[in-house]
């Protein structure tokens, strides 16, 4: 076999979303796309805000010599200044332009962070259920993931996290609002987590993955990790709040008082270059500098969330209503979540088994789809549940 055995194993571990995508393609070809309810992919379907087109026109109109050339690996200073100001307002403290780097999406930001932090064998705690790629991002840089389950309502299990910390623990990754559960970790939870991390025999960095920060419901807020813990790092992108996932633009921000800040930022800047990113896309840097504080119309996601919760409640499913993001993570009515997802597929409904996110016994549904798709799924959810109970 010519390719890496590790990649073969990785492909198998990461296959659930791909499998459901392929299943969806077959169902759509057989029955027609308008007959299939596809909740498998977290691909935002809302258009970017109107200000996006205005920003694009402004940036294009301002093009001149060197516009598309290289810049510092950390990004344009004026862009970092604009982003830093916005992050400071969200986090409740002053963040400077030199406290952050522009990156190729949040995925690039996490890889840069792991490259800067990890030596071979260092451990990174991730919380189940989790975004599946975290395992691979840590492995990319010689790290080892330690998986810790969250509580039954998907909040932080601080005792379990404390028990997982060893002398090799270098970081913990949290994702709030969470993919796949929509849970938001409270300020009290973050304070408790900070206390746990501070008791470790070495510095443990808190890496907060926040691409869904601005997509929240019922008046919930996403608390400041910077207020909770000085050795914290925020990684994020504009993929969800501006509906720009394909543009691959994001950032890393470090706490202004983080331990060894100058050396850490230097390592991150070098990592941005030597990982092959070089710098975040020049054009999109200039565009997002114009869009700080702007977001998509989240009232649409709010309406879809309410509709989907109603559909699932009336069908008899057990789930925790999401506080943010655009996912539901119901409990599977049978122990084998993959088998239940197959029953849903028989009803032309596509979801993803919870085992794909490190927590069997559940399944994920993405509601970044049009309202009529959610409404059309109601009978199918009832039929699949009835089939599971037979």
Mean pLDDT for the stretch of residues 322-335: 98
Q: Tell whether the torsion through CA atoms of 77, 83, 84 and 86 is positive or negative.
A: positive
Provide the token pair at 231: 């050795």
Give me Rg for the CA atoms of the chain. 21
* Residue 25: per-residue pLDDT: 78
> Residue 185 contacts by C-beta under 8 Å, 6 or more apart in sequence?
155, 156, 174, 176, 193, 223
pLDDT surpasses 80 at 8: no
Higher pLDDT: 6 or 342? It is 342
**pLDDT tens for residues 141-184?**
999 999 999 999 999 999 999 999 999 999 999 999 999 999 99
Question: Which domains are assigned to the chain?
Answer: 5-48+296-389 (3.90.1150.10), 52-289 (3.40.640.10)
* Residue 15: per-residue pLDDT: 63
* Residue 22: per-residue pLDDT: 76
Q: Do the strands 100-103 and 250-254 form a parallel or antiparallel pair, or are they unpaired?
A: antiparallel
CB 36 within 8 A of CB 350: yes
**pLDDT tens for residues 205-245?**
999 999 999 999 999 999 999 999 999 999 999 999 999 99
Q: Return phi, psi of residue 297, to 5°.
A: -75, 95
Helices 261-274 + 105-117 axis angle, to 10: 120
Question: What percentage of the chain reaches a pLDDT higher than 90?
Answer: 90
* Residue 1: per-residue pLDDT: 59
Average pLDDT, the chain: 95
3-state SS, residue 123: strand
pLDDT surpasses 90 at 24: no
* Residue 33: per-residue pLDDT: 80
3-state SS, residue 230: coil
**pLDDT tens for residues 92-101?**
999 999 999 9
Q: Do the strands 232-237 and 250-254 form a parallel or antiparallel pair, or are they unpaired?
A: antiparallel
Cross-strand pairs, 184:
none
């Amino acid at each position: 076999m010519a390719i890496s055995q590790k990649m073969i194993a990785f492909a198998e571990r990461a296959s659930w979303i791909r499998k459901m995508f392929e299943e969806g393609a077959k169902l759509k070809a057989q029955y027609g796309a308008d007959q299939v309810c596809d909740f498998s992919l977290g691909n935002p379907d809302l258009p970017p805000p109107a200000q996006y087109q205005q920003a694009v026109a402004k940036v294009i109109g301002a093009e001149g010599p060197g516009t598309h050339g290289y810049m510092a690996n950390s990004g344009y200073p004026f862009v970092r200044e604009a982003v830093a100001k916005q992050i400071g307002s969200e986090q409740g403290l002053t963040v400077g332009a030199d406290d952050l780097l522009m990156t190729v999406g949040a995925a690039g930001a996490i890889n840069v962070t792991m490259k800067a932090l990890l030596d071979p064998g260092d451990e990174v705690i991730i919380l189940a259920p989790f975004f599946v790629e975290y395992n691979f991002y840590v492995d990319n840089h010689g790290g080892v993931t330690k998986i810790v389950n969250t509580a039954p309502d998907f909040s932080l299990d601080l005792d379990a996290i404390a028990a997982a910390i060893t002398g090799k623990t270098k970081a913990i990754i949290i994702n709030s609002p969470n993919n796949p559960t929509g849970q938001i970790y409270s300020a009290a939870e973050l304070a408790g987590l900070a206390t746990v991390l501070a008791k470790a025999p070495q510095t443990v960095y808190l890496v907060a993955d926040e691409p869904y920060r601005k997509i929240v419901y019922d008046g919930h807020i996403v608390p400041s990790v910077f207020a909770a813990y000085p050795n914290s790092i925020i990684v994020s992108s504009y993929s969800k709040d501006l509906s720009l996932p394909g543009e691959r633009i994001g950032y890393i921000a470090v706490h202004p008082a983080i331990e060894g800040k100058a050396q850490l930022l230097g390592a991150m800047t070098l990592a941005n270059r030597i990982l092959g990113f070089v710098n975040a896309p020049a054009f999109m840097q200039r565009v997002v500098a114009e869009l700080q504080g702007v977001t998509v119309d989240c009232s649409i996601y709010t309406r879809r969330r309410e509709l989907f919760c109603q559909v699932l409640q009336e069908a008899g499913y057990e789930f925790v209503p999401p506080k943010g993001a655009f996912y539901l993570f119901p409990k599977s009515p049978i122990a084998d979540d993959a088998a239940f997802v197959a029953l849903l597929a028989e009803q032309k409904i596509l979801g993803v088994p919870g085992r794909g996110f490190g927590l069997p016994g559940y399944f994920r549904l993405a509601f970044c789809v049009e309202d009529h798709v959610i409404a059309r799924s109601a009978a199918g959810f009832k039929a699949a549940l009835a089939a599971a109970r037979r």
